[in-house]
Chains A and B, each alone.
Chain A
């Protein structure tokens, strides 16, 4: 296979990953590393480098749409980005010291977790409870549009959310993913932010978090132009297409199928990690 064929096939795979990722809300980045390592035999360090840049591309693309609609909360996002960016740098340094097999196993576990989380019913916590005084001091409590009205919400358990966000950042830097599933856990479960706000704010944060580890990846030679080019352009085009189809598509069945694929890839990564093939 020469470079032209490799680029075309990889670009098509990345396009499909981005398309399904946007349609199901799971993000395309999470399947890029398994695709590159399992199907194309790419070394996992090049794979997480290419995946990380594609994550930044989709985050900027989707955040641009969400921020405009007024769902994402810039103050919550900015405050939590202190935790995720510092975590991301730690994770990226950790990646350079961790054996490839261990990274593959951790990656597999995160895939299984993401698959399990994706079909969970998300219901908003009962509104009107007392906010965390830290959230009030940091002016995080906000509102989002519901028709012509504004729905107000209060933010709770800021230190717990901040701690989980540090973990989300570390995973992002270690594995070259957006770790949206962990970010949503911190905001939904710990801080009890309404899911419309948490999903869009998480999207908004993913790009900044990934940019923090990108510097470390770049200097360690993880970001290869020949590999990152088709992956980034493919995922970006796929996710823009996916967002366009999102309105009319019936996503429930698709989510289940994509979750099964992700779980299968997770098991495959863990198996290959233990047998030393990655």
Chain B
């Protein structure tokens, strides 16, 4: 039997488990660092969430958030951590597409592929 087919569901399960846990830990660390910087700089400001203004660009889209985080801005780093959190289940679906492909289970390559397209549409394609 070729080695590729030995990657059965339990192996996939174990790898998904590691992927989810690392994504969660990594994003929590990033959010924590951004949060600490934010409180250091703006801890005495008065928060106001009573009236909805909506978070404005660049913190409301993927490329803007990455730019802000790279510049070391505190809110950008928090938002980048939240993006990592959102990306974790997306990575899990991408991993499933690949794993089903290696199992030659093309029906489930298609099913997980549809889910992946829906997720990527939400994150990148549509604009408000």
User: What residues of chain B lie closer than 8 Å to A208, measured between beta carbons?
Assistant: 89-90, 92-93, 115, 119
Contacts of B127 in A (CB 8 A): 219
Distance in Å: Cβ of A183 to nearest Cβ of chain B: 15
Q: Are A7 and B35 in contact (CB under 8 A)?
A: yes
CB pair B56 A221 closer than 8 Å:
yes
Q: A78 near B112 (CB under 8 angstroms)?
A: yes
- For chain A, give the interface size range: 35 or more
Which residues of A are found within 8 Å of B10, using beta-carbon distances? 70
Flag if A224 contacts B55 (CB, 8 Å). Answer: yes
Q: Are B122 and A229 in contact (CB under 8 A)?
A: no
| Size of B's binding interface in residues, CB under 8 A | 66
Residues in chain A near residue B16, CB distance under 8 A: 64, 67, 74
Which stretch of A17-25, A190-198, A209-217, A251-259 is in the interface? Answer: A209-217
Min Cβ gap A47→B in Å is: 8
- Counting CB contacts under 8 A, is A123 at the interface? no
Q: Which residues of B contact A220 (CB under 8 A)?
A: 54, 60, 128
Nearest neighbor of B21 in chain A, beta-carbon distance: A64
Asked if residues A60 and B20 are in contact (CB atoms below 8 Å), the reply is yes
Determine the chain A residues whose CB is within 8 A of the CB of B53 once the complex forms: 221
Contact of A233 among B9, B31, B43, B126 (CB under 8 A): B31
Query: Least Cβ distance of A3 to chain B in Å?
Result: 5
Please measure, in the bound complex, the distance between the C-alpha atom of A121 and the C-alpha atom of B74, giving whole angstroms.
47
**Interface majority SS on A: helix, strand, loop or mixed?**
helix
Contact A216 B122 (CB under 8 A): yes
CA A226 – CA B118 in complex, angstroms?
Answer: 28
Docked Cα-Cα span, A79 to B28, in Å, equals 29
B101 contacts the other chain (Cβ, under 8 Å)? Answer: no
A60 in contact with B39 (CB, 8 Å): no
Contact status A4-B108, CB under 8 Å: no
Q: How far, in Å, is A91 (CB) from chain B's closest CB? A: 11
B40: nearest chain-A partner, CB-CB:
A4
In the complex, the answer to whether A67 meets B13 with C-beta atoms within 8 Å is yes
With an 8 A cutoff between CB atoms, is B14 at the interface?
yes
CB 8 Å contact bits of B115-126 with A (1 = contact, 0 = none): 100110111101
The yes or no answer to A42 lying at the interface (CB within 8 A) is yes
* Chain B 80-115 interface residues, beta-carbon cutoff 8 Å to A: 82, 85-90, 92-93, 96, 107-108, 111-112, 114-115
Known A43-B49, A208-B93, A229-B34; further 6 A-B contacts with Cβ < 8 A: A81-B93, A218-B62, A220-B54, A221-B60, A225-B34, A225-B75
10 closest cross-chain pairs (CB), A and B: A221-B54, A215-B122, A4-B43, A225-B78, A221-B55, A207-B89, A215-B123, A43-B52, A64-B20, A64-B21
A residues bordering B, Cβ < 8 Å? 1-4, 6-7, 36, 40-43, 45-46, 53, 56-57, 59-61, 63-65, 67-68, 70, 72, 74-75, 78-79, 81-82, 85-86, 88-89, 92, 96, 138-139, 207-208, 210-216, 218-230, 232-233, 236
**Can you name 11 A-B residue pairings with CB atoms under 8 Å?**
A1-B47, A3-B43, A4-B44, A59-B89, A61-B20, A61-B24, A63-B20, A68-B13, A211-B119, A213-B122, A223-B55
